[in-house]
Amino acid sequence: MPKTKTTLTLTTLLAFCVIVFGAYVRLTDAGLGCPDWPGCYGFLGVPENADELSIVEQSFPGQVVEPAKAWREMIHRYIASLLGLLILILFVSEVFKKNKAAFANNFSLKISLLLLLLVIFQGLLGMWTVTLKVHPFVVLAHLVGGLSTLSLLFIYLKRISAPTIPRASFTGLLSFGLVLLIAQILLGGWTSTNYAALGCPDLPLCYGQFWPSNMDINEGFLMWQSFGKNYEGGLLSPPGRTAIHFFHRLGAVALTLGLGVIIFKYIKNPSTKVKNAALVLAAALFFQLLIGIVMVWSGIALSLATAHNAFAALLLLSFLNLVYTIKYR
pLDDT above 90 for 1: no
Q: Read off the pLDDT band of 105 (50, 70, 90).
A: low
Q: What is the DSSP annotation of 232-247?
A: TT----HHHHHHHHHH
Question: What is the Cα Rg of the chain in Å?
Answer: 22
**For the stretch 224-237, what's the b/e string if a residue is b when 16 or more beta carbons lie within 10 angstroms of its beta carbon?**
eeeeeeebeebebe
121-150 per-position pLDDT tens digit: 999 999 999 999 899 999 999 999 999 999
Question: What CA–CA distance (Å, rounded) separates 45 from 52?
Answer: 11
**What pLDDT, on a 0 to 100 scale, did the predictor assign at position 101?**
45
Torsion-angle region of 233 (φ positive above 0: left; ψ -120 to 50: alpha; else: beta): left
Beta strand segments in 92-162, E: none
Give pTM, 2 decimals. 0.92
pLDDT > 70: what percent of the chain? 94
For the stretch 222-272, pLDDT in tens is: 877 777 788 888 889 999 999 999 999 999 999 999 999 999 999 999 999
Q: Taking the CB of residue 301, how many other CB atoms lie within 10 A of it?
A: 12
Q: Give the tens place of pLDDT for each residue, 166-186.
A: 666 667 899 999 999 999 999
pLDDT at residue 2 in the model: 60
Residues forming the active site: 73
Rounded distance between C-alpha atoms, residue 34 and residue 237, angstroms? 27
CA atoms of 242 and 245, how far apart (whole Å) = 5
